[in-house]
Amino acid sequence: MNKKTNTAYLSQFSPDMKIFELVEISPSLLSIFSRLNIRLPFGDISVAEMCEREGHSVELFLMLASMHTDTSFRPQKEHLRAEMLTEVIEYLRASHRYYAEHMLPHTSAHLEKILQHCANLFKSALRRFYDEYTDYIVTHFEEEERNIFSIIDNCTTENYSEQVCTLFDMPHADIDDRSNDIASLIFKNLPEEAPTTLRCTMLEHIYALRDDLRRHSNVEMYLLRPLIETYLNSKR
């Protein structure tokens, strides 16, 4: 994917492009609108006009769109501003709610349909493995809310930087490993008795969940963390 090396966002994005042009590049970008609580419809407005209407930073919105579209994209530090921090935290909190209230239950519902075609022993094992996976993810989110976001909200202490950087060592890689494990387990063990459409839909959901969690982790590591450093530097 073609990128400028010293820009705030991917080269195919611009503040002047129409919203429908943005979504045509990657329809999955619609999930960003819901997490930023952006109102529909868009009509024929541009990205800049939408951000002005909704009170969002144009540059930050396009950074998030770039990270969502290309998982190798990394925002340049010189484009980060301290005032972006609050907006990113709200985006991540909304993402946590989206996973817990929609994506995880939706995937679980499809898994339940698959399990109806499984032998009882395997059904129990697969359900337990998936439930442990979702419990781990939700617990991870709760720990972030409690240990990172709440600290940022009440940032006053001298040891804040060291404290938050330590918390960022929380196991994002472990979530990716577990996501790969559950995807592999389901892929290799889907019962032949289940309809092909049902099996394919289940795989689509589990891989979409895995990929979205990867994007989420990237935002935390490569946008939130440097934004915290930018915010701290602005206070010194």
Could you tell me if 117 and 41 lie in one domain?
A: no
pLDDT tens digits for 10-64?
888 999 999 999 999 989 899 999 899 898 878 899 999 999 999 999 999 999 9
The verdict on 180 and 219 lying in the same domain is yes
Q: What pTM was computed for the model?
A: 0.85
How far is Cα 97 from Cα 172, in angstroms, rounded to an integer?
18
Same structural domain for residues 167 and 229? yes
Are residue 124 and residue 43 in the same domain, yes or no?
Answer: no
What is the reported pLDDT for 62?
A: 95
Q: Are 113 and 71 found together in one domain?
A: no
Q: Residue written as tokens 């008795």?
A: 193
**pLDDT value for 218:** 92
DSSP three-state, residue 1: coil
> Within a domain: residue 101?
yes
Burial of 120 (0-12, 13-18, 19+ CB in 10 A): exposed
| Single-letter amino acid, residue 180 | N
pLDDT for 130 beyond 80: yes
Quick one: 32 and 124 in the same domain?
A: no
| pLDDT, the chain, mean | 85
118 and 184, same domain (yes or no): yes
Q: How far apart are CA 33 and CA 39, in angstroms?
A: 8
For residues 46 and 146, membership in a common domain is answered with no
Residue 4 DSSP SS3:
coil
Q: Across the strands, what pairs with 18?
A: 46
Q: Which residue has the higher pLDDT, 235 or 199?
A: 199
Structural domain for 65, as ranges: 19-78
Radius of gyration in angstroms for the set of CA atoms belonging to the chain, rounded to a whole number? 20
- 217 and 101 inside one domain: yes
173 with 211, same domain: the answer is yes
Residues 65 and 115 grouped into a single domain: no
> What would the mean pLDDT of 172-184 be, rounded to a whole number?
84
How far, in Å, CA of 16 to CA of 173, rounded?
Answer: 36
CB 101 within 8 A of CB 34: no
pLDDT at 145 over 90: no
In total, how many domains does the chain have? 2
167 pLDDT tier (thresholds 50, 70, 90): low
Same domain (yes/no): 105, 66: no
- The pLDDT, as a whole number, for residue 33 is 92
Q: What is the model's pLDDT at position 107?
A: 93
Confidence band of 4 (pLDDT split at 50, 70, 90): very low
